[in-house]
């Protein structure tokens, strides 16, 4: 389970306190474990949906009948779907409350809310990258991301990107 002890003032209208680059990079080991698990849940949900669709097409209206021979299968699939959907939603909501937005589970694309030059931005990381090394504006996306510049000799202000 991903948890955080991050405290501090939030960005007005933008959720929890902004992430520093060090904090975002420190969170990557947990994300490297969590994202493939979430993706596996999504893959299983797709298979359940496909199986239910196949059964419904084959049986038509009969598939919903209380005495239908595939009713136990339908009920098992329905229950599994509810359980997996709840787990997926809870994990994604927990991440979002902490200022981490999962943009794409297939590619492992994640954004951390941060600040650069007094403006809210996203620190951008994708599965396979060694560390968080890019950022983009809140209105931009993956295509508009830029490398995070090296720190200046004076260093950034607390809570700011270099």
Q: What is the pLDDT of residues 68-89, one digit of tens each?
A: 888 889 899 999 999 999 999 9
Could you give the 3-state DSSP secondary structure of residue 35? helix
Predicted TM-score of the model (pTM): 0.73
Distance between CA 120 and CA 22 in Å, rounded? 17
User: Which H/E stretch holds residue 61?
Assistant: none
pLDDT tens-place string over residues 92-142: 999 999 889 999 999 999 999 999 888 899 999 999 999 999 999 998 888
pLDDT at 14: 47
5 pLDDT band, cuts 50/70/90, is very low
Q: Which residues contact 80 (CB under 8 A, 6 or more apart)?
A: 44, 48
> Tokens 């698990």 appear where?
37
């Amino acid at each position: 389970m991903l948890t955080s002890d991050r405290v501090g003032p939030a960005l007005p209208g933008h959720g929890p306190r902004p992430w520093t680059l060090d904090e975002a990079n420190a969170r990557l080991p947990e994300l490297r474990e969590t994202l493939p698990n979430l993706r596996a849940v999504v893959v299983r949900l797709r298979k359940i949906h496909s199986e239910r669709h196949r059964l419904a097409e084959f049986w038509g209206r009969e598939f919903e009948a209380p005495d239908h021979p595939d009713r136990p299968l339908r009920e098992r699939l329905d229950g599994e779907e509810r359980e997996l959907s709840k787990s997926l939603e809870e994990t994604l909501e927990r991440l979002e409350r902490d200022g981490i937005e999962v943009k794409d589970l297939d590619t492992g694309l994640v954004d951390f809310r941060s600040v650069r030059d007094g403006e809210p931005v996203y620190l951008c990381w994708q599965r396979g990258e060694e560390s968080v090394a890019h950022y983009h504006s809140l209105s931009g996306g993956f295509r508009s991301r830029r490398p995070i510049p090296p720190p200046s000799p004076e260093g950034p202000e607390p809570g700011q990107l270099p």
